[in-house]
Amino acid sequence: MNCYYTFSMITQCTDCSNTGKKDQFCDKCIKVADYFDVFQYTNDVDNKELVGRIKAYRWKDALDYVKKSFFADNFDLVTNCEKDFAFVEKKFDKEKVIGYKLYLNPIHGNDKITLWNLT
Ligand SMILES: [Zn+2]
């Protein structure tokens, strides 16, 4: 999956780089986290509500967290990236959809919202 905008960066250390695996990280790798604002929506995708913020190194980590934490099971989840956000949603039937949109938040001020730190 390719999400377009990201400020996060993981530079693998020599050891990890030598494994040839892009998912290999350790404490010696240089990692910079991003903040992802999580909005919940039901049925009407434009009517969304901020439920919290995820601090993570990658879109993938943030999306995996949403899948695990906000859905009772992982069946039939639709995950995708749009130009400036990613989403995970589940359609229960034609009428009912529950989903979460994730936006990168480069400012992440000290506002009092729940922070899930995955770093
Ligand atoms: Zn490493």
Instruction: Report how far ligand 1's centroid is from the alpha carbon of 9 (Å).
Output: 13
95 Cα–ligand 1 center, Å:
47
Cα separation of 77 and 80, whole Å?
10
In order, the DSSP letters of 31-57 are: EE-EEEEEEEEES-TTSEEEEEEEEES
21-39 burial code (b ≥16 CB/10 A, e <16)? eeeebeeebeeebbbbbbb
Q: How far is the CA of 44 from the centre of ligand 1 (A)?
A: 43
CA of 14 to the centre of ligand 1 (A): 7
Reported pTM: 0.81
- Ligand 1 center to 30 CA (angstroms): 8
Model pLDDT for residues 96-106, shown as the tens digit of each residue: 899 999 998 88
Q: What is the pLDDT of residues 38-61, one digit of tens each?
A: 999 998 777 899 999 999 988 889
